[in-house]
Structure 1
Amino acid sequence: MILGRIAAGLVVSVLALAFGLKMNPINYVVGIVVTGVPGIIVQLIFIPILTKLIERWGFDSQYIN
């Protein structure tokens, strides 16, 4: 998740150079990582919990089709 934000920062730096913008890509990466941390934490906590609950309740692929 953080690597995706770093990749986005690289893309922004390339686009900034291509369009002649005066911006620091490090500031962009820091900004998107800091604003994304709460969502990352929520995902890392709740997705494993939901996965275990779904497995415990016995849901499997027969309900998905």
Structure 2
Amino acid sequence: MLVSGAAFAQGATPATPATPATPAAPAATKDNATKGTHTKAKAEHKRTHRSAHKAKVHRKEKAAG
């Protein structure tokens, strides 16, 4: 929403920013509705993956001296 507002502020024609924004808005809503049930699992997986990566890097650094 802020991006389209910035586009209007720059003096772009209203039709140009509205065309890409219109299909994007329903798509975003649809994605959020779909993801709603998986958010917790996704976040959990992300945390696990991140911590595993950190541990791997730490082991490499430790081994390197």
User: TM-score normalised to the size of structure 2?
Assistant: 0.49
User: TM-score normalised to the size of structure 1?
Assistant: 0.49
Q: Which has the higher contact order (CA 8 A, sep 6+)?
A: 1
